Each structure stands twice: as C-alpha cells, then as structure tokens.
A and B are shown apart, each in its own frame.
Chain A
Amino acid sequence: MTIPLDPDISPPGTTRFRDAGGIPADRWRAIRGEETLVPTHCCFCGVQCGMYLRVHDGKVFGVEPRDHDINRMRLCPKGLNAYQQVNHPDRLTAPLLRRSRTDDLRPVSWEQALDVTAEQIRRIQADHGRDAFGLLGGASLFTEKTYLVGKFARVALRTRHVDYNGRLCMVSAAGANKLSFGIDRAANPFADILLTDCLLIAGSNVGECFPVMTQYLWGARDRGASLIVVDPRETSIARTADVHVALRPGTDAAFFDAVLHVVIAEGLVDQEYVDAHTTGWDEVKAAVAEFTPDRAAEICGIPAAQVVQVARMFATAPRAMAWHARGIEHHTQGVENCLAVINLCVATGNLGRPGAGYGTITGQGNGQGGREHGQKSDMLPGGRSISDPVHRRQVAEIWGIEEADLPLAGTSMMEMVHQMRRGEIRGLLGVCNNPFVSLPNYHVVKEGYDALEFHAQCDFFLSETAANAHLVLPVTVWAEDDGVMANAEARVVRHRKAQQPPEGVRTDTWVLCELARRLGVGDKFAYTGSEQVFEELRIASRGTVNDYYGITYARLDETGGIAWPCPDVTHPGTPRLFEDGRTAHADGKIHMQAVGWHPPADPYDDQFPMSLTTGRTVAHFLSGNQTRRLGGLVEQTPRPWIEVHPSHGFANGDPVTVHTRRGSATFPALVTEAIRPDTVFVPYHWPYPVAANEMTIDALDPRSKIPEYKVCACRIEAAAEITPVPAPPMPPGRESYAEAQRARAEQLPPTSSQGRGTSQP
C-alpha cells in the first residue's frame, strides 16, 4: 500500500514514500528549514575545499558539502569534522596567566593579560634591546592576520625576529620557485591536472595529506594519463601508479638529476624551448652529466631501469606535470630537490600550457598566502625583500614610518629557538603555532622555550606549547572571523564568519591591535575588522609580484576565488603562469640552476644504520592541536605507530623502539611490505613522549632554513611497552572532554558482546 504524503515533512517532488507503514515519517525532519548555510572553506590543508557550515540559532552545528570549483562537493574526514572545533567544550574562554613556570595557569581579565604582555615587551626590550623580543606567526591564520603579524613585528615591536611555521612547510619550494622564476607559487591550477598526459608526484602522500586532490588525479587517469610516484613508501596513490619509485629517503636530487641525464642522453630535450626561455642550461647539463642511471640506482637504492622509464614517460608525454610536497622539501637540500624537478619540467618544455607545468602541494591552509605579505623573517608585504632599500622605502611609506625604523632581516624559526637557548631572544609572542610538536629535536625546542623570561601564546585550544607559556590568550577559530586564504594554486578564497565567538574570546586581529595601542603605535593599527586590513594589504601589494590589488571581498564573494597576480579590479586573475613565456625575473627568462647531491645531514653508522622518515596521517593536521580533540578523528587514528618491513621479524602491534641521536620512543609496529626494509616511518602529529619530532634532526637547508624532517639515521629494537599517548592539555579546573566522555562511558552498565555487527554506544 502507499501511504499519503504529508507535504510539510516529505521531501519535495516525492510521489511515493514507502509501501508499508511503520517508519515515523518525521524522522527525517531535520531543522533544515530553520538553519542557515554559510558558504566558506575548510580551515585545514592547502586545497581549501569549499563547504557550507550549518548554523542554527547562531551556532555552527554541522557541515554540508559545497559545489565549489576546487573540490566539487568532495571533502576529507578533516573537513567533515572541522566544524566540531567551533563549539568544542575544550575551547579556551579566558586569558590564563602564571607568574613563573612553577605556578599554575590562572584565569585573568583581558585588560590584565594585555597589560602584562605590553609591560613585559617594554621591560625586555629596554633591558636587552628590541631584538630580544620575538614573534612567531602561523600559516593557518588568514592572510590579513599574517600581514598584521609582520607589521606588528616591524612597527610595534620593531624587532627583526619574526618568522612563522610555514618555515616548516614549503619554503624550499618557494625558494626554488623564486630562484628559477622570480615568483613563488604553483604555475598551474588543479584543473590543469585533468588535462595532463603524465603526472609526476614527488614526495607527496596525496591520498592522506591532500585527499581531495585525488579526484583530479583520477580524472586524468580516466583520460589515459600515466602516473609516476616518487616516494620511499607505497602510499595509496603509489599502489596503483604506473611507476612507483621507492627511493631511499634523502636521495631525490640524485634521482631527478639522473632522470634529466637520461632525457638529455636520449635526445628528448625541448631544445627550442630551452634556447628561447632559459639561462644556465649549460651548467645544468654539466651538473647532471655525472648522474647516470647506474649511479642514481646506487645512491637511491632503486633499479636503474626505473630512471630510464620515468625519463621516457615524462619527456615523451605531450603534456606532463610535476607536483611535489614535503617529501622532497623537508631536506638539507630541499631547495635543490625542488630545483631539480623544475629543471626537468623546463628541459622538456612543460610549462605555461594547459596540462603542462608544475605545482607545489601546500600543507597548511594558508601556507601560500601566509608567506606572501611579510610574516617571513626576510620579507615585507607583496613578497618584497626586507634587505632591498627600494622595497623598504615603499613599505615604510605605506605604513607611515621612517625607513630607518624598519628592522633588518631576522633568523628562521628553528634558529630563533637556538637564540632563545642562548639568551639572545628573551621574550616571545606565539600566534597560532605549536612548535613543541611541530619543530624537530624536541628537547632542544623545550630548552629554548623554557629559557624565555616571558612567553605569551595565542590559541583556541591549550596546545602543548601554550600549556608551557606564561600567558595564554584565547582567540577565535576560523569560523568566527572573516578573512582570505590562498590555496596551493595561489587562488585567494574567502572565508566567512559563521558565528559570534564565545564570551571571553577575541580575534587575533583585536589582540595585535590592542597590544599595539599599549605600545604607543595604536594609530598604525586602528582597524575595525578584517576587510579594513585587507584593503591596506591590497594597496601594500600593489605593483609587486604578489599583486592583490584587484582582489576585493566583493569580487571574491562573486567568484570561486581569484588567483594572484591580479593587478586591477577588472583583471580576472592569473590561474596559470608563464603562458606568454615570460617569468617574473627582469629578463623574463627562467634561471635554471645546476643541482648536485649530498647525503643527508645525519650520518648512518653501525649504531644508526636505518632511515627514519616522518609524515602525516589523513585524520590529523600538523601538530594535531586542532584535530586530536575531535572525537571522530581520534577514533580513526588514536595514536602514532611505526611502519616496519616484515624482514625485521616484528608482528603487528609489537612494541618497537626507534632510537636516533636525539631521542627515542616506543610505538606499536605496523608490519607492511609497503615500506623499504632500510626505512621506518612514524607519523608526527603527537606530542612528547610519542613525538616523531623528538627524534628528527634540526639540520636546516642553508637557503630555505627548512628542517630535514624527512630523513635521519635511526635503529629499531624490540621493546616491552608501548609509550602511552598523553591526554591533550586542559586549562586548570577543567576536565578534558575526552576524559569526561570516558568517565561517563565507565558509569554505564556492562553489556555482553553479541559478536559481529555489535556497536557499543
């Protein structure tokens, strides 16, 4: 029988609901009629998927996929769970202060918190000079906020010591792009991947780090494109790739040089393109001459035939693209690795065409935008150099200060930690970062932070770093403020405020402006909101390589995002670079750079004969501060593990200790043939004592100053007990949400298992 439909509660257009009675028809009555869908983007990785936040009664309560150009409804588990941060019971809602590190953090008023901060800044700078106070920003901040962090450091603090956690992300790629092309961004939009004939992915576990990008990858493969994956691990995309080059960690430059060697030897170079558009080709040719396939096979630990196979596949494809990520960038030769990939693209003429080019896959949501406007130690807004007198004059004029008052270039994030240890930096303000988990060589990082006379940290959960600070300032999550981010394609997208922040929480912009007022430069920071900051940023970037002048909030609202450079308000933006064959260098040429290879910084010996490499897991984001409290994600990946090859004789779940020259920790083994026998892998999202970064080395690339996270020497051995995962830190007097849940679960009466299909509540 067919039951009559209730038009109020039945789906529109439905003519037949069901043939038998029983299901209360209103079970599907959601509150859709009363909810608002706020179009915005995910707060996590550099794909910046479009999504709707579901808002009811002024509160974010859910998520709905959004048909945005970038992701076409797709979302990964992080995106689907991100909204749970917004009204999470673990949120910080009052500033917390302690007078010394032995005290407990106690709630104080905002007035008091800001007064203490300003007083400490003045004291430290008066006693030890302006550079004794540092500022560390983050690349998860909106671009407006990263601009403010840079301006605050130079104008309010007048310190040279400002840097950001994007330094740990993709500065190697940025450095290589600047050297070769004079412009620091991916050359092609994601949509170009659909048009390519050969896609090379180097050092990127796309399936776990950028899951939504896989739809482009599969779109290309449905058309018949081939896929080459260069990665020590057999990742989910490597599993079905045409060629998987499982090279030894830290040998990428040698591999790509050898590929170019074969391209040259087999006459597959696009000589016309090289002659017309490049400088430095002869030096590149000379540098790769010694990297024969046999030599690469020996260095990289792969069959020589794979080098030839990759060279032929890439060079003979009508349109080929290379995308790379941290796997080749997190090295002491991170810049060189990226240059080697660029050389391959340029030599084969794969640039500036649909389906042909290169890109870097940004880790952090605003990894791209976060470094464009002066948050980096050596950069001023618009990608200007802080060492260039012309650039300094331009920015000083925009900011209304004397050029002489602008500090010079500072040091990088890891170097700043060493300066803290040595007492050169005595006070620090951290905004939206968690170095206790994200920096390498944990014990050194802790020493550096512990040596600080004053440390204030802005965050919305009590991160491991904030829990160690003197002062914690509770700030908004992404859905509580307006702003823009630039994704991995350099497409600027608009994030929208979906709800008011909880009582006691302020925006990072407000915090910086209030501090500036207390430091006597309030007139330079008289902003009422994000759009006003963005308007200043537009002007500050006008005429530079990173030109945002033509981008406005209104235009972003009308479009799916605009890729910079966008010099005026009628300009459509620049999704694809170099279509006219000209780069951003003054001569318009590609400056090819010769690349060699040197071994990783941490030497192997009898004590430490294997490689440790680190990376991500799909359920967690970077230091895990944002994701290690979200139930679904914790359930999906509750703890780190160690991936080992079966040849070591371990069984799944066995406690295995990994030792390096800096530390050790014990993880359960995941025994798999998907990793090289000479290599182990540990994901890095967890804090000490289960931190991969307790073990990693803080050796830096000399140019980009990125740490060599992706390879260090190690040994493994059987252990008795797995190191337990610590609970996330909580403010005093508040029990962790997870702990509260556990306690409630324990109070429930015991139930008997019914075997398969049983789901415990």
Chain B
Amino acid sequence: MMGRTIVIDPGRCIGCQACVSACRECDSHRGRSMIHLDYLDQGSSVASSPTVCMHCEDPLAPCAQVCPAEAILVTPDGVVHDADKSRCIGCGNCVNACPMGVPKIDLAAKLQFKCNLCYDRTSYGLAPMCATVCPTGSIFYGTLDELRTERPGVEVASTFDIDGTILSTGVAVVVPRDRPRGLPLPGGAGEHPRVTGSPQPAGHLEPNADNVLGEPLP
C-alpha cells in the first residue's frame, strides 16, 4: 500500500456529498466530479459511502491494462492517472474493465475522466480535495499510522474478493467491527426506529386555543 493514501470509512459517511462538490471544485478536472456517492441499503437504512478510484495495485490497474491507446498511466507512487487527453479515444474499455465502476466517458468529448487522487494537490503535499473537506472524516488521507493515532483500534482492508477475483488496491477501506466499550459500529449496524403505539385519537388532544392563530390577536 502507498504511504499516504485515502482510507474510506463508510460507517462515518453522512451522505452529504461534500466530496462530490469538492471534487468538482479541484483543479485537475474542473467542473466534473470523479466521486460517486453510493446508497448502500436504501429503503432500510440511510447508510451511504463515497467511491473514489481505488488505484488498483494487483492486478495493476485493470483500466490501464485494457486501454488500447495506452492512455492511462500509473506513476511509481501508485497513482493510476486519468486518461491522457491527447491519446484517449473514448472507447470505454476502461469503463468495462474497472471492477468498481469508476471511470466515466464524456460522450461528446470522447474522453475518459476519473479520479487521479488529486495529483495537482497530493504532489504539493496537500490532501485530495475530497478528503480535505469530508466533514465526518469518512474520507481520510494519510498513512495507516496517522489513521490509527486518530482512531484507536481501527482495522482497514485493501484486498477485496470480487466474484472470486482477488484485487489489492492502493486505497483502503475501514472494516466494520464489533462495539468495544459500547462504541457505535463503523459500517453502520444501527437499529431502525423502534416504535410503539400510534398517535392518540381525537378528543385526547386539547389544542391550546391561545396558541392557534387565525383568531384575533390581543
């Protein structure tokens, strides 16, 4: 795994899409967001999670491997870049190869766009824009040690089994865990509202006449 990388903690995500707006504001692909916000179990939960490019390490960047124009470059620091605009032919191979559904094709421009870990910022030593602004820290940028100092006991994973194919990534994800000391469960195993009864029927409630407007005021 890269030294400084993104770690995603879906348990903290509040679905605010600050990451999506931030991505649109950063300089490397102005006006377009390269992040998806996924609703994990809509209908029974408000859980959500941001998806950035996972910067696959093994196999190394499937998107780059299938690119017929050799437009997708991987830098030695592990960053899988978006397609070189002078080479990209907009064929969509990368879209089909990516196991995470990350790259996008702009049909009019016939060009691919994807997260490049905010290379304009990270190469200056800044955090990517999404991780900088994420209100909850659901998108963390730093080393594993920095993460563990801030969040004691946190476990992360960077190897995933996708339909039998094992994939190792440069971006890690916080693993849900049981609750030590009654802590909430990252990953979101909260309980749904427990409800008893129903609103009281008419007659039980006495509206306070002084409070209901429409009557002349004193």
Report Cα–Cα, A675/B43, bound state, in Å.
Answer: 10
Say yes or no: B16 contacts A28, CB within 8 Å.
no
Q: A16-B76, A222-B150, A302-B194 are in contact. Are A214 and B135 (CB under 8 A)?
A: yes
Contact of B193 among A65, A233, A756 (CB under 8 A): A233
Q: Is the interface of A mostly helix, strand, loop or mixed?
A: loop
Q: Interface on chain B toward A: helix, strand, loop, or mixed SS?
A: loop
- Contact present for B200 and A218 (CB under 8 Å): no
A589 contacts the other chain (CB 8 A): no
* CB pair A240 B186 closer than 8 Å: yes
Q: Which residue of A lies closest to B77 (CB)?
A: A16
Nearest B residue to A301 via CB reads B197
Chain B residues lying within 8 Å of A234, measured Cβ to Cβ, are 45-46, 190, 192-193
Residue in contact with B132 in the complex, picked from A65, A218, A241, A700, CB distance below 8 Å:
A65
In the bound assembly, the distance between CA atoms of A212 and B133 in angstroms comes to 9
Please indicate the chain B residues that have their CB under 8 angstroms from the CB of A28 in the complex: 27-28, 119-120
A609-B124 contact given A241-B190, A757-B101, CB 8 Å threshold: no
In the bound complex, residues from chain A placing their C-beta under 8 Å from that of B194 are: 246, 302-303, 306
Separation in Å of the A361 CB from the closest CB of chain B? Answer: 14
| Interface size, chain B (Cβ < 8 Å) | 93
Smallest CB–CB gap between B165 and chain A, Å?
A: 18
A246 touches B195 (CB 8 A): yes
Instruction: Please give the distance in Å from B8's CB to the nearest CB on chain A.
Output: 14
Tell me whether B98 is interfacial, beta carbon within 8 Å.
Answer: yes
In the complex, A601 has a CB within 8 A of chain B: yes
- Cβ of B1 within 8 Å of any chain A Cβ, yes or no, is no
* Minimum C-beta distance from A40 to chain B (A): 16
Residues of A within 8 A of B216 (CB): 422
Which residues on B are within 8 Å of A, measured CB to CB? 11-18, 20-22, 24-25, 27-28, 32, 42-48, 71, 73, 75-76, 81, 84-87, 92, 95-96, 98, 101-109, 113, 119-120, 123-125, 129, 132-137, 150-152, 181-186, 188, 190-202, 204-208, 210-214, 216-217
Stretch binding the partner chain, chosen from A113-121, A175-183, A507-515, A666-674:
A666-674
- Taken residue by residue from 618 to 642, chain A's Cβ proximity to chain B (1 for < 8 Å, 0 otherwise) reads as 1100000000000011001000000
Judging by beta carbons under 8 Å apart, are A73 and B208 in contact? no
A675–B14 contact, CB under 8 A? no
A233 to B103, CA, bound (A): 35
Also in contact, A240 and B43, with CB within 8 A (given A22-B87, A302-B195, A618-B16): no
Identify which of residues 510-536 in chain A touch chain B, using a CB-to-CB cut-off of 8 Å: none
State the CA gap A394–B130 with chains docked (Å): 51
Find out whether the CB atom of B184 lies under 8 angstroms from the CB atom of A240.
Answer: yes
Roughly how many angstroms separate A71 CA and B106 CA in the complex, as a whole number? 35
A737 to B72, CA, bound (A): 36
Collect the chain B residues with CB atoms within 8 Å of residue A632's CB: 20-21, 24
Q: A605-B202, A671-B43, A678-B199 are in contact. Are A761 and B193 (CB under 8 A)?
A: no
Once bound together, how far apart are the Cα atoms of A232 and B44, in whole Å?
15
A residues less than 8 Å from B13 (CB atoms):
236
Q: How far is the CB of A705 from chain B (nearest CB, A)?
A: 10
Instruction: Please give, as numbers and ranges, the residues of chain A lying within 8 Å of B16 by CB-CB distance.
Output: 76-77, 207-208, 211, 618
The minimal Cβ–Cβ distance linking B129 to chain A, given in whole angstroms, is 8
Bound CA span A18–B79, Å? 10
Which residues does chain A contribute within 8 Å of B109, judged by CB atoms?
A: 761
Q: What class of interface size applies to chain A in its complex with B? A: 35 or more
Q: Which residues of A contact B96 (CB under 8 A)?
A: 756-757
The listed residue (B14, B71, B198, B211) touching A207 by CB distance below 8 A is B14
- The smallest beta-carbon distance between A15 and chain B, in angstroms, is 10
- What are 30 A-B contacts defined by CB distance under 8 Å? A23-B81, A30-B27, A30-B120, A74-B133, A75-B22, A76-B16, A79-B133, A207-B14, A207-B15, A212-B135, A227-B184, A239-B47, A240-B186, A248-B199, A301-B196, A418-B217, A419-B217, A604-B199, A604-B205, A618-B15, A618-B16, A633-B21, A674-B45, A675-B193, A676-B193, A678-B198, A698-B214, A700-B211, A700-B213, A761-B108
User: Is the beta-carbon distance between B123 and A11 smaller than 8 angstroms?
Assistant: yes
Q: With both chains docked as a complex, state the minimum distance between the C-beta of A751 and any C-beta of chain B, in angstroms.
A: 4
Contact A239 B190 (CB under 8 A): yes
Which residues does chain B contribute within 8 Å of A618, judged by CB atoms?
A: 14-17
* Residue A280, interface by CB 8 Å: no
Chain B contacts for A129, CB-based, 8 A: none
A674 to B47, CA, bound (A): 10
A756 to B104, CA, bound (A): 8
Residues of chain A in range 212-231 having any CB-CB distance to chain B below 8 Å:
212-215, 218, 221-222, 224, 226-227
Contact status A75-B14, CB under 8 Å: no
The verdict on A276 contacting chain B, using a C-beta distance below 8 Å, is no
Tell me if A747 is interfacial: C-beta within 8 Å of chain B: no
> Nearest A residue to B210 by beta-carbon distance?
A702
Select B151's contact among A215, A222, A444, A602, beta carbons within 8 Å. Answer: A222
A242 to B181, CA, bound (A): 11
Top 3 closest pairs, chain A to chain B, by CB: A246-B193, A207-B14, A757-B95
**Contacts A24-B86, A207-B15 given; does A757 touch B134 at CB 8 Å:** no
Q: Is the CB of B120 within 8 A of A22?
A: no
A600 within 8 A of B: yes
Contacts of B213 in A (CB 8 A): 414-415, 418, 441, 444, 698-700
Q: How far is the CA of A710 from the CA of B110 in the complex (A)?
A: 49
Q: Mark A139-157, 1 if CB is under 8 A from B, else 0.
A: 0000000000000000000
Query: Could you tell me which residues of chain A, from 55 to 88, have a CB within 8 Å of some CB in chain B?
Result: 62-63, 65, 73-77, 79-81
State the Cβ distance, A653 to closest chain B Cβ, in Å.
Answer: 12
Beyond A297-B196, A604-B200, list 14 extra A-B contacts (CB 8 Å).
A28-B119, A75-B22, A80-B25, A208-B16, A214-B14, A233-B193, A236-B14, A236-B48, A237-B14, A301-B195, A444-B213, A609-B199, A702-B211, A756-B96
Nearest neighbor of A758 in chain B, beta-carbon distance: B105
In the assembly, what is the distance between CA of A676 and CA of B123, in Å? 48
Which of chain B's residues has its CB closest to A313's CB? B182
Q: Which chain A residues lie closer than 8 Å to B108 at the CB level? A: 748, 751, 761
Residues of A within 8 A of B205 (CB): 599-600, 603-604
* Given contact pairs A241-B184, A603-B205, A672-B43, A636 touches B20 in the complex (Cβ within 8 A): yes
Given contacts A672-B42, A673-B192, contact A609 B208 (CB under 8 A): no
Establish whether residues B210 and A676, one from each chain, have CB atoms under 8 Å apart when the complex forms: no
| Contacting residues, chain B, for A19 (C-beta < 8 A) | 73, 75-76
CA A227 to CA B13, docked complex, whole Å: 16
Residues in A with CB closer than 8 Å to B184 are 221, 227, 240-242
Evaluate contact between B135 and A761: CB separation under 8 angstroms. no
Q: Does B95 contact A211, Cβ atoms closer than 8 Å?
A: no
Given contacts A19-B76, A601-B211, A759-B105, contact A242 B27 (CB under 8 A): no
Pick from A301, A306, A646: contact of B198, CB under 8 Å = A301
Cα–Cα distance between A759 and B113 once the two chains are bound (Å): 9
CB distance from A268 to the nearest CB of B (A): 18
Selected contact of A761 from candidates B106, B133, B211, CB within 8 Å: B106
Contact (Cβ within 8 A) B125 A76: no
Taking CB as reference atom, which chain A residue is nearest B81? A23
Say yes or no: A74 contacts B98, CB within 8 Å: no
Which residues from chain A contact B211 at a C-beta distance below 8 Å?
A: 332, 601, 699-702, 708
Residue of B nearest to A646 (CB): B43
Identity of the chain B residue whose Cβ is nearest the Cβ of A711 in the assembled complex: B199
- Chain B contacts for A748, CB-based, 8 A: 108
User: What residue of chain B has the Cβ atom nearest to residue A331's Cβ?
Assistant: B211
Q: Which of B76, B137, B190, B212 contacts A699 (CB 8 A)?
A: B212
A238 within 8 A of B: yes
CB of A411 within 8 Å of the partner chain: yes
Q: Are B18 and A80 in touch, CB under 8 angstroms?
A: yes
Which one, B46, B106, B197, B201, contacts A672 given CB within 8 A? B46
Instruction: Report the minimal beta-carbon distance from A345 to chain B, rounded to whole angstroms.
Output: 21
- Tell me the complex Cα distance, A611–B84, Å: 55
In the bound complex, residues from chain B placing their C-beta under 8 Å from that of A242 are: 182-184
* Contacts known (A62-B25, A240-B11, A415-B217); A678 close to B43, Cβ less than 8 A: no
A20 at the binding interface (Cβ < 8 Å): yes
Q: A218-B136, A411-B217, A759-B32 are in contact. Are A239 and B45 (CB under 8 A)?
A: yes
